[in-house]
Amino acid sequence: MSILSVVICIALLVLLTARWNINPFIAFLITAITGGIMLGIPLDKIPDSIEKGMGGILGSLTAIICLGAMFGKLIADSGAAQKITSVLITFCGEKYITWALMLTGLFVGIPLFYNVGFVLLVPLVFAVAYQTKLPAVYLGIPLLAALSVTHGFLPPHPSPTALVPQFKADMGMTLIYGFIIGVPTMMIAGPIFSRFLKNIRSEPLATFTPEFIADHALPSTAKSFSIALLPVFLLTIASILTPVLAGQAQLKPYVTFIGNPMMVMLISLLIASYSLGLARGHKLTSIMQTYTQALKDISVILLIIAGAGALKQIFVDSGVSTEIAAGLKNIPANPLFLGWLIAFIIRICLGSATVAGLTAAGIVAPLVLASPEINPNLMVLAIGAGSLMCSHVNDSGFWMYKEYFNLSLKQTFASWSLMETIVGTVGLIGVLALDMFV
């Protein structure tokens, strides 16, 4: 009966969000309350569980996600993202233009949240298509594959960042493993797959013609790349130094402090504020306005994460998560595959990769915490891969791509949906392969 209640909860969440277009945060709260009643939690305890779930998941994430949003917004508004794109395309040349666009999606996608990266970079694809006379879909898929990989696999993006504390994983190691798996994944789903899409012709809407910042007003190449990748450098260095300095009682606290994800994002933001803002003549008030807009953009994601935390806590407090975990443990399949499969199923039902990842995590977290042999960093990536599978008509990204590129539904399925499925499938293969060595 308990597992049936979970299935009913997920079905209710699907109906509320996909069928009746209820705001995801409200849908999560309604589902959590319904689930609490069905699973036998006393009525007076349900609000406590919901508050505990929201506070628990946001407590460690709010600062990271908000600082990341402000950092990414500054990278975009300062012209650093445009500079990175221009340099990579010039460096690679027209022959390897799809690889240049993939690298653009990787470098720029790390600090930018997916929707922001999409809106910012897709018009640049159209500009390249206009200059080279190459099909827009052929050029766009490599960049979007890279954006999808960063969105699903790499902190500080919301879904992987939210999964790390749930599994007690390490942010730095998850980032390193994410690169190891993500780069080959985006290569296959991007430049290699896009070779088969040259016959898909599209006429991007004139509405999305890009507005470029003049070259003389752009930050330098070195500054653009170094600032955009600064959080990655700091997290990676901290992950490498932590075990090396394990016996150094005097130095270890400093490395732990600076390597904390919140401190990494704060340090990166402060450096970026000066280098890309104040040092280039921008007033502090205008920089703060940029950050205020970034927080408005990220508020919906924070509410979705909070709602997912509430539903997860209902599952935990009722004991159903432990029951499901015990059942999953007896299934003769790799736990990483099971995590991927659950996220995959929820993704098909709900559409949102972030919601799919967070919901799946709430179900499999007890299994990971109770089984030391399961690598929690790889479980983050397995669920991330599953949450990207089979994007279709209930995914906002599907419609953004279709409308921006002015495609038919058939063309969108043949390019976008298949690309996302390749990302999820190759990502799983990479996780299982890496699991054999770590």
DSSP string, 63-111: HHHHHHHHHHHHHHHTTHHHHHHHHHHHHHTGGGHHHHHHHHHHHHHTT
Q: How confident is the model at residue 326 (pLDDT cuts 50, 70, 90)?
A: low
Give, for 365, the enclosing helix (H) or strand (E). helix 353-370
Q: Output the six-digit token pair for 166.
A: 């749930």
Please say whether the beta carbons of 355 and 399 come within 8 A: no
Is 137 a residue whose pLDDT tops 90? yes
Residue range 405-417: average pLDDT?
Answer: 89
Q: What is the DSSP string of 219-276?
A: PPHHHHHHHHTHHHHHHHHHHHHHHHTTT-TTTHHHHHHHHSHHHHHHHHHHHHIIII
Q: How far apart are CA 23 and CA 58, in angstroms?
A: 19
Q: How far apart are CA 210 and CA 214, in angstroms?
A: 12
Q: How far apart are CA 256 and CA 86, in angstroms?
A: 36
Furthest C-alpha separation in the chain = 66
Q: What is the pLDDT of residues 288-312, one digit of tens each?
A: 998 998 888 778 778 887 888 888 8
Q: What is the pLDDT of residues 380-400, one digit of tens each?
A: 999 999 999 988 766 767 877
Please say whether the beta carbons of 323 and 421 come within 8 A: no
Q: How far apart are CA 236 and CA 238, in angstroms?
A: 5
Please say whether the beta carbons of 24 and 346 come within 8 A: no
List the single range of 71-80, 204-213, 278-287, 360-369 with lowest mean pLDDT: 204-213
Q: What is the DSSP string of 311-329?
A: HHHHHHHHTHHHHHHHHHH
In the predicted model, what is the mean pLDDT of the chain?
85
Please say whether the beta carbons of 72 and 112 come within 8 A: yes
Give which of 184, 103, 208 is closest to 147, Cα–Cα. Answer: 103
In angstroms, what is the C-alpha Rg of the chain?
21
Close Cβ partners of 3 (under 8 Å, ≥ 6 residues apart)? 320, 323, 324, 327
Q: How confident is the model at residue 139 (pLDDT cuts 50, 70, 90)?
A: very high
Is 340 a residue whose pLDDT tops 60? yes
Q: DSSP letter at 217?
A: G
Higher pLDDT, 328 or 103: 103
What's the pLDDT score for residue 83? 85
Q: How far apart are CA 317 and CA 346, in angstroms?
A: 21
Is 105 a residue whose pLDDT tops 80? yes
